[in-house]
């Protein structure tokens, strides 16, 4: 990390999370996974507060299309109903938020 600058993984996570919102189903899945991984890695290795918000934003922005892509595949290949998918999608969003909060608390950044 450059002296006084933002954590590079946090910035990359936020940018990839934004790009993962482009509506291309399988690309969303891959970009979402990368954004989540970079965000979690940035939060775990963060020494200071600079970039904490970007890393959390990358995780959250990456989560939406990631789960959307997973449930799109579930609907196509497993023939799930939209109601089942929506319920699972909403329940699945709680896990990444809990991970972000736990990491931030363990690093005393929250």
Chunked in runs of 10, what are the mean pLDDT values of the chain (110 residues)? 72 88 77 89 79 87 82 76 72 70 72
Q: How many folded domains does the chain comprise?
A: 1
49-61 pLDDT, tens per residue?
678 888 888 888 8
Q: Let me know the angle formed at the C-alpha of 107 by 97 and 52, rounded to the nearest 5 degrees.
A: 60
Residue 24 placed within a domain: yes
Residue 1 placed within a domain: no
Alpha helices by DSSP H, listed for the chain, are 8-19, 25-45, 52-78, 82-92, 94-106
User: How much is the pLDDT for 53?
Assistant: 86
Residue 16 placed within a domain: yes
Parent domain of 18: 8-106
Is the Cβ–Cβ distance between 43 and 100 less than 8 Å? Answer: yes
């Amino acid at each position: 990390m450059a002296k006084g600058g933002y954590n590079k993984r946090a910035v990359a996570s936020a940018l990839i999370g934004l790009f993962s919102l482009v509506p291309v189903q399988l690309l969303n899945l891959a970009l979402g996974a990368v954004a989540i991984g970079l965000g979690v890695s940035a939060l775990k290795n963060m020494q200071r507060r600079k970039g904490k918000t970007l890393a959390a934003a990358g995780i959250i922005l990456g989560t939406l299309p990631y789960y959307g892509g997973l449930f799109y595949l579930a609907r196509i290949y497993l023939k799930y109903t939209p109601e089942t998918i929506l319920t699972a999608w909403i329940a699945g969003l709680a896990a990444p938020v809990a991970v972000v909060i736990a990491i931030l608390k363990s690093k005393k950044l929250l």
